[in-house]
Amino acid sequence: MDRLRVERTPIPGLLVVRLPVHHDDRGWFKENWQREKMVALGLPDFGPVQNNMSFNATRGATRGIHTEPWDKFVSVAAGKVFAAWVDMRAGDSFGATFWTEIDEDVAVFVPRGVGNSYQALENGTVYAYLVNHHYVAGRAYPALNLADATAAIPWPIPLDSADVEISAKDRANPILADVTPMAPKKTLITGCHGQLGQALALLHPGATLVDLAELDLTDTAALAAWPWEDYDLVLNAAAYTAVDRAETPEGRVDAWAANATAPAALARIAAEHGITVVHYSSDYVFDGSPVAGGHREDAALSPLGVYGQTKAAGDLAVAGTPRHYILRTSWVIGDGPNFVRTMARLAADGASPTVVSDQIGRLTFTAELARASRHLVDTGAPYGTYNVTNSGTPRSWADYARRVFELTGHDPARVRAVTTEEYAADKHVSPRPLHSTLALDKLAGTGFVSTDADEALAAYLRG
């Protein structure tokens, strides 16, 4: 065979790889695992960390059906096997089967939760497999009896033959009806009590929800004790957002811990365990210089204050983990105290607020940010940084305040405009970027259709 091919099977995610093998009088040579070529053809970039070999002295040695919570890439280094797989994952495909022979020109990618087994068809068979997690001692995983009638695997050498050797442990494995399916890996949402965390939880039912009290991302011991092998997605909504307090000695320490140190620790863990991280950034990583069409994802970072500096540092740390989405956003509005609710309350109270009119950007409702997060993960969009805000015409804070007054039945003329410099006079505040509009082209290129900020504002106020 002179062409590398990847074929799908009836088991979702189980892929047969046809390998080019180069023969000569000495034997043969093959590229058993070639990351660049195989990933380009649809194999997951599963990040193997261990290579195991199983030597089978005689024809008829039979092993399985074993299910572990990691991915495998199986092949033979010598001889030939009849291999069979049974889907042991919870869901519609539970119990699905597939089998084939594997010799030097066949390999198979076996996803987490699919039971793996084989029977040696030749003496001296060497069965090899790459795995992307190390074995965890003391944990039990689903297994299935090799003779299960439901799976009905057609073993070439009958299991009751004198030529077949099966371990006592494998002979004692349960039938399919008695197997507890393997649950999928879990999603972790940090900062779950914040406005964004609450919105994310609505779109990820069943996720593990943690805040600082449940999991302190700056606590080395707490991180080491967490069962990261059970997770494949972390939505990191934890952040220090007290922008002005970040300029104080105490706030500076807290901001760096939450916005830079914690994401860096999370990035290291994600790289080690093959976890996808969704991390949330801010327009404050830019200095607010005017940019036609808005700041793009690849623009140079240029934060003005401590908050922006810590968020930029967190971005750089997370960008170093292989599977990451950094969602850069601005002017976030969700379920909790925020600018829109403050303006609505002031309008109802008969107040005439003073609001800055020279900071320009777009609102981002947490429902939009959560929806974009889910879209990027579910569609398998390329990893990287994406700007996420609601769409539409960029406006000033004063413009949005007037719109809130108007939508709640009050006179928008009661909102008095002021410059940022005037507002900050005699106050200890962080510098603000004046131009916070973020370009949304990259996100749109993934198929995501952003909701207009004015429409979202009206819907938010309707409740």
pLDDT in tens, the chain (463 residues): 579 999 999 999 999 999 999 999 999 999 999 999 999 999 999 989 999 999 999 999 999 999 999 999 999 999 999 999 999 999 999 999 999 999 999 999 999 999 999 999 999 999 999 999 888 777 888 999 999 999 999 999 999 999 999 999 999 999 999 999 999 999 999 999 999 999 999 999 999 999 988 999 999 999 999 999 899 999 999 999 999 999 999 999 999 999 999 999 999 999 998 899 999 999 999 999 999 999 999 999 999 999 999 999 999 999 999 999 999 999 999 998 999 999 999 999 999 999 999 999 999 999 999 999 999 999 999 999 999 999 999 999 999 999 999 999 999 999 999 999 999 888 888 999 999 999 999 999 999 999 999 999 999 999 8
* Predicted local distance difference test score (pLDDT) of residue 1: 54
129 is catalytic: yes
DSSP three-state, residue 83:
strand
Round to whole Å and give the CA distance between 340 and 395.
14
Tokens describing residue 356: 């800055």
Of 143, 235, 243, 154, nearest in space to 189 by CA: 235
CATH 1.20.1050.10 is right for the domain spanning 5-178: no
DSSP state of 19: P
The residue from 66, 141, 383, 423 that is catalytic is: 66
Superfamily of domain 186-462: NAD(P)-binding Rossmann-like Domain (3.40.50.720)
DSSP 8-state code for residue 452: B
Report the distance separating Cα 116 and Cα 98, nearest Å: 10
Q: Which of 77, 61, 177 is nearest to 119 (CA)?
A: 61
Phi, psi at 453, each rounded to 5°: -65, -40
pLDDT confidence of residue 244: 94
Cα–Cα distance, 181 to 169 (Å, whole number): 19
Structure tokens at 364: 């981002």
Separation of alpha carbons 419 and 415, rounded Å: 13
Q: Where along the chain do its domains lie?
A: 5-178, 186-462
233, 275 contact by CB (below 8 A): yes
- Cα–Cα distance, 289 to 81 (Å, whole number): 64
Distance (Å) of CA 437 to CA 2, 47, 287: 52, 37, 12
**Both tokens assigned to 63:** 């092993």
**Maximum C-alpha span of the chain:** 93
The pLDDT, as a whole number, for residue 140 is 82
Exposure of 453 in the CB half-sphere (CA atoms within 13 A) = 25
Q: How many CB atoms lie within 10 A of CB 11?
A: 20
Token pair 């695992």 is found at 33
* C-alpha torsion angle, residues 271, 277, 281, 286 (rounded to 10): 40
**What are the angstrom distances between the C-alpha of 147 and each of 12, 98, 173, 418?**
23, 15, 10, 79
Rg (CA), the chain: 28
* Phi, psi of 43, deg, nearest 5: -70, 140
Q: Which of 118, 127, 129, 307 is catalytic?
A: 129
